[in-house]
Amino acid sequence: MKIYFHLNLETFSNTYVVVDEKTKVALIIDPGKPTNELLKQIETDGYLLSAALITHNHEENTRGLATLKRIYNLSIYAADIDVANTADTTIKGEGFLKFGGITVEYFAVPGHTADSIVYKIGTVLFTGDVISAGEIGSTTSSYAKDLLYRGIQTKIFTLSDDTVIMAGHGPMTSVGAEKLYNLEATSPHVPQFFSSL
């Protein structure tokens, strides 16, 4: 498996292309604005772009879908049906997807948005805005912040410390590093109405 990183300079958001070298099947995660460099990489290496995986419905993650759909016959997977376009590719909760030799595990971690999904391929997590180096995603309420915190604690921080985190913004990091240094993710944010539970 190979992972290619592309930075969208307009929004400083990250796009990733994941490739199975044997089958040449490729996935794109959070396609912001497809650059000539990104398209050239797919075409020159003869990759078969078969799916787009969306971590959450923000324009910086979905802007490139219209262009990619005109060029490639790809399926779009997201938790928001407005993005996925079909019930068959709308994902919820937890599960697995398979593309060529690539197995993708996915799980919902709401809080930043209601449709936030994390994708796990091997020992790499694609977290969107759920968690990044030293930060967690922004939230609109103390309830959403607590929901996000609990999701990070139970679904991400229970993974091996050497699990790599490739976020929607910023550099890559690891579960171990975030457990040590991400104060937002390690300090509980318990709203008043949860304190009596």
For residue range 110-131, list pLDDT tens digits in order: 999 999 999 999 999 999 999 9
Structure letter (DSSP) for residue 121: E
Check residue 187 and give its pLDDT.
77
Of residues 110, 53, 103, 113, the one with CA closest to residue 77:
53
* AA identity, residue 4: Y
Distance CA 177, CA 182 (A): 8
Distance CA 113, CA 15 (A): 19
Distance CA 133, CA 74 (A): 31
Ordered strands of the 94-99 beta sheet: 94-99, 102-108, 117-121, 124-128, 164-167, 173-174
Angle at 187 between CA 137 and CA 160, to 5 degrees: 75
For residue range 135-148, list pLDDT tens digits in order: 999 999 999 999 99
Ranges assigned E (strand) in 59-188: 75-77, 94-99, 102-108, 117-121, 124-128, 131-132, 135-136, 164-167, 173-174
Check residue 192 and give its pLDDT.
44
For residue range 155-179, list pLDDT tens digits in order: 999 999 999 999 999 999 999 999 9
Distance CA 143, CA 153 (A): 15
Q: Is residue 180 very low, low, confident or very high in pLDDT (cuts 50, 70, 90)? A: very high
Q: Is residue 188 very low, low, confident or very high in pLDDT (cuts 50, 70, 90)? A: low
Q: Reduced to 3 states, what is the DSSP secondary structure of residue 160?
A: coil
Biggest CA–CA distance in the chain, Å, is 59
